[in-house]
Structure 1
Amino acid sequence: MTNAHTDLAPAWTTSIPRHWCWMRNKELLFEAQTLSKDGSEELLSVSHLTGVGPRSEKNVTMTEAESLEGYRVVEQGDLVINTMWAWMGALGVARHAGIVSPAYGVYRPRPSAPFGLRFFDYLYRSTEYVMEMTRVSRGIWSSRLRLYPEVFLRMAVPVPPLEEQRAIADYLDRETARIDTLIEEQQRLIEMLRERRSAMITQVATRGLDDAPLIDSGNIYLGDVPAHWKVSRFSREMSVNGGQVDPRDNPWADMVLVAPNHIESGTGRIIGRETARAQGADSGKYLASAGQILYSKIRPALNKVTVATEDCLTSADMYAMSSTHGDDHRYLMYFMLARPFHAFVTLASLRVKMPKVNREELGEAPFLLPPVEEQRRIRAYLDDQTEKIDALITEAVRLIELSHERRSALITAAVTGQVDVRKVV
């Protein structure tokens, strides 16, 4: 292979090895436009995470069209690009024959073209090449960019000899598999830590820290509780704020507005801080005071509960509430995060038309109340223990992020010749 077409070298990568060459995509591929006659072929899905594969094997939530007649036919080895999502990397070389939406681009290797399927699957999906496709895509808004066929086919691509393409793909298969295994291990660790966190909260918030005598409460939902604890109902122990304010008016517009999406599931942490004005709020909101409990009443966010760190507004999808007897609000938060309470309100939310738990149903929720001093000890213990678990989760998440970054950098380096795989053992 010659070093011809060096004038095509784009700015997205450094120089390639001297024995590689630059070619335009149209020299390797042509647009395939065969359409399905009856839509009976297997429907394929294109993902920025997993590339191209059978839709039946992927978790796709979009509704399938009633008829697939006229969908584009894909042969094994075709490059498929979601024209509207190329900027996200929604493309890949098909390992299965099938059909895709007529809005997608399907590109077939030219006969005798030096097109190694696995190598180019890595190259086209590499971070650097996706960024180059984004740069040449057209559209006013970033979320509406489109990579049109004539633009893609004019793009340049580095082409090593076929034997080296296979060696690079083998190298990347091996190395990315190792990284993917590490990522999967960290994901399993995170799941285990979250499970441990939830189990610990449930155990301590509903059973306490001491080896106190247990009694049978006669309530299947609560099971046995320490004999000196109070068994009550939510409506008897909690007062829910009422009355709404207009978030467009002063001083409400500049107050922080908390909605379910600002609370992390199962942890009690607030993960976003924006004012009502910044969120463009224009419908009635509830006032909450610092230290009050904020609880999401909509399914599936019924395990989102926190303690307000400042005076704020809450969306109509939340309850702002306080103990009527001076109980420790962080203990109450932990109790509401415990599995029995979550199970009760979830079941209650299924009994109404809207996917939420209303005040009447919430008011019937059983409530466990240790003496206030014991509540504070439980809260302090759970604060300490959950902080340790959360630190481990944060560390695992960071390792996953670094692994993804290493994976991306490794692929880019290999497909641009910065790693000579012929010298890698």
Structure 2
Amino acid sequence: MTRLGPVLESAWESVALSYLVTTKYGHPFASETFNTDRVGVPVIRIRDVIPGRVQTWADETPATEAWVTNGDIVIGMDGDFNHRLWDAGDAAMNQRVCALRPGPRMDRRYLNYVVGYPLKRINETVHYTTVKHLSFADLLAQRVPVPPLETQRGIADVLDAETARIDTLIEKNNEAQRLAETKLREEIATAVTLGPEGSSRPVAGSSWAYEVNGSWDWAPYQYFAELGSGHTPSRSRGDLWENCTIPWVTTADVKHLRDHRREYLEETTHHLSEAGLAHSAARLLPARTVVLSRTASVGFSAIMAKPMATSQDFFTWTCDEGRLLPEYLLYVLRAMKFRGHFDRLMYGSTHQTIYFPDLVQLRGPVPPVPEQRAVVEYIRKRSGPVHRLADRVQRTNELLRLRRQALITAAVTGEIEV
């Protein structure tokens, strides 16, 4: 085995990417041509870079330069600038996706590893307001170490083996977490419909509750809560967006609810002003109001920890707590989400929505309040170990990813033996 010294002490050249690759650029597909019926050409969108597979087709003809093939390095130009060695067959890139095709001096597997280093540098230094955007010119100006092709292949062989081992460990951790969360979700659905004990009876016409505790009522929740929604003040009136201090629940807050762990929403991303509240259909709702997202990211729920308003993207229940606990309703809504009930209520091909009449008529179990409280405590007790497992998996996987990146950096700068 030959020890490869640091790149500055070796015979390796440092060359700008522009001299080593051919560049490919995405095509501005019209979104109305997108489909999942495999009509037209396969399209690589930014969301497809990490999984490495096409999920969308477009019924139009893209520019020639938008096509990639196996062995090209596909890069997402927004967000975290993810990249991968493409191996899912010929496809056309959408706009904000680009690709590098290795020239004769570059092994494609080595290029896939070494390009991550300049992408990381750019990601850490680029200035942005909402979403980071990659400048292709900046990327091509980056210099990378270029050892002889034989050495590149040797480095790639070592990294392929080591990164595969790390990736397998990460996937095993993720699978253990998925299994635990799937089991917990079914336990939650069972708890809110059957409770800890008692006889059961079938539920006619329900797509999510197969049976319910025989001593519990099954009724529309509109009988036990005040229903509502929200609004967005006019964006054309700047005076309505000054001195915004009122918490305002919008789709920007859904990111905090996606893992279904948080019961209470303490803060919001955006706020309203008193003037905006007064000149719109939005209203300030009391603490402990239950919210459910009903557009775009549908079916995510929480309880307001303090008075808040919402956008029109949410439906709300302000419970009569003498008959319906917000925490119990929250877990009923999550059970509906877990068992696909909200998917069946959605309309729209691109911008999916649950309409108000369907939410007004939402029905479910209504046990006596003491039993509601017992169900909530049972769910919290069962959730604790699963949430702790998820935290451990996240910490462990983060360490594994850091190890993976350190290994790649060491390899492409000549600090490993091949």
* TM-score normalised by length of structure 1: 0.73
Query: For residues 269-322 of structure 1, what are the alpha-carbon distances to aligned partners after superposition, in whole Å with 9 as ceiling and x for unaligned?
Result: 2486334159xx8964332211121222336512x1211111111111112222
- The equivalent residue for 1:238 is 225
Count of aligned residue pairs for this structure pair: 383
Please, which of 321, 325, 328 is the counterpart of residue 325 of structure 2? 328
- The equivalent residue for 1:314 is 310
Query: For residues 122-173 of structure 1, what are the alpha-carbon distances to aligned partners after superposition, in whole Å with 9 as ceiling and x for unaligned?
Result: 112x2x322445699999997444223xx66654322334333222111100
| 2:318 maps to amino acid | S
Shift of 1:207: 0.2
With over 3 angstroms needed to count, the CA separation of the structure-2 counterparts of 1:72 and 1:92, relative to structure 1, is same
Please, which of 388, 395, 416 is the counterpart of residue 398 of structure 1? 395
Please identify, of 407-416 and 349-358, the stretch whose mean Cα deviation from structure 2 is larger: 349-358
Please identify, of 334-343 and 253-262, the stretch whose mean Cα deviation from structure 2 is larger: 334-343
Superposed, 1:284-303 pairs within 5 Å as 284-298=281-295, 300-302=297-299
Superposed, 1:7-406 pairs within 5 Å as 15-16=6-7, 18-25=9-16, 29=20, 31=22, 45=44, 58-61=53-56, 64=58, 66-68=60-62, 70-71=64-65, 84=77, 88-90=81-83, 104=98, 108-110=102-104, 113=105, 115-124=106-115, 126=116, 128-132=117-121, 143-148=132-137, 155-210=142-197, 212-216=198-202, 218=204, 220-221=206-207, 222-241=209-228, 253-263=244-254, 264-265=257-258, 267=260, 269=262, 270=265, 273-277=268-272, 284-298=281-295, 300-302=297-299, 304-324=300-320, 325-339=322-336, 343-350=340-347, 355-406=352-403
CA–CA separation in structure 2 for the residues paired with 1:86 and 1:262? 18
- Equivalent residue of 1:322, what SS? strand
With over 3 angstroms needed to count, the CA separation of the structure-2 counterparts of 1:294 and 1:165, relative to structure 1, is same
With over 3 angstroms needed to count, the CA separation of the structure-2 counterparts of 1:170 and 1:246, relative to structure 1, is closer
Query: For residues 64-116 of structure 1, what are the alpha-carbon distances to aligned partners after superposition, in whole Å with 9 as ceiling and x for unaligned?
Result: 47223543676876x65759569814475889778768995655524xx4x33
CA–CA separation in structure 1 for the residues paired with 2:292 and 2:79? 39
Shift of 1:30: 6.0
Please identify, of 166-175 and 393-402, the stretch whose mean Cα deviation from structure 2 is larger: 393-402
Shift of 1:254: 0.7
- Equivalent residue of 2:283, what SS? strand
Please identify, of 164-173 and 152-161, the stretch whose mean Cα deviation from structure 2 is larger: 152-161
Q: Is the 8 A contact 1:254 1:277 kept in 2?
A: yes
With over 3 angstroms needed to count, the CA separation of the structure-2 counterparts of 1:49 and 1:133, relative to structure 1, is farther
% identity of equivalent residues: 20
With over 3 angstroms needed to count, the CA separation of the structure-2 counterparts of 1:207 and 1:196, relative to structure 1, is same
Query: For residues 325-383 of structure 1, what are the alpha-carbon distances to aligned partners after superposition, in whole Å with 9 as ceiling and x for unaligned?
Result: 43222112112221389644543444999843334322332221111111111111112
CA–CA separation in structure 2 for the residues paired with 1:266 and 1:30? 40
Q: Give the aligned CA root-mean-square deviation in angstroms.
A: 4.4
- The equivalent residue for 1:412 is 409
Shift of 1:23: 3.3
CA–CA separation in structure 2 for the residues paired with 1:26 and 1:351? 44
Q: Is the 8 A contact 1:258 1:314 kept in 2?
A: yes
With over 3 angstroms needed to count, the CA separation of the structure-2 counterparts of 1:28 and 1:43, relative to structure 1, is farther
CA–CA separation in structure 2 for the residues paired with 1:332 and 1:86? 36
Query: For residues 370-424 of structure 1, what are the alpha-carbon distances to aligned partners after superposition, in whole Å with 9 as ceiling and x for unaligned?
Result: 11111111111112222321221122122222222221111111111122x24xx
User: Gapped runs of 5+ residues in structure 1?
Assistant: 1-13, 34-41
* TM-score normalised by length of structure 2: 0.74
With over 3 angstroms needed to count, the CA separation of the structure-2 counterparts of 1:399 and 1:240, relative to structure 1, is same
| 1:253 maps to amino acid | C
Shift of 1:181: 0.7
With over 3 angstroms needed to count, the CA separation of the structure-2 counterparts of 1:346 and 1:235, relative to structure 1, is farther
CA–CA separation in structure 1 for the residues paired with 2:338 and 2:43? 42
Shift of 1:179: 0.9
| 1:371 maps to amino acid | P
- The equivalent residue for 2:34 is none
| 2:383 maps to amino acid | T
Shift of 1:202: 0.4
Which structure is larger by alpha-carbon Rg, 1 or 2?
1
| 1:214 maps to amino acid | S
With over 3 angstroms needed to count, the CA separation of the structure-2 counterparts of 1:28 and 1:206, relative to structure 1, is same
With over 3 angstroms needed to count, the CA separation of the structure-2 counterparts of 1:29 and 1:363, relative to structure 1, is closer
CA–CA separation in structure 1 for the residues paired with 2:109 and 2:338? 50
Q: Is the 8 A contact 1:74 1:94 kept in 2?
A: no
With over 3 angstroms needed to count, the CA separation of the structure-2 counterparts of 1:27 and 1:187, relative to structure 1, is closer
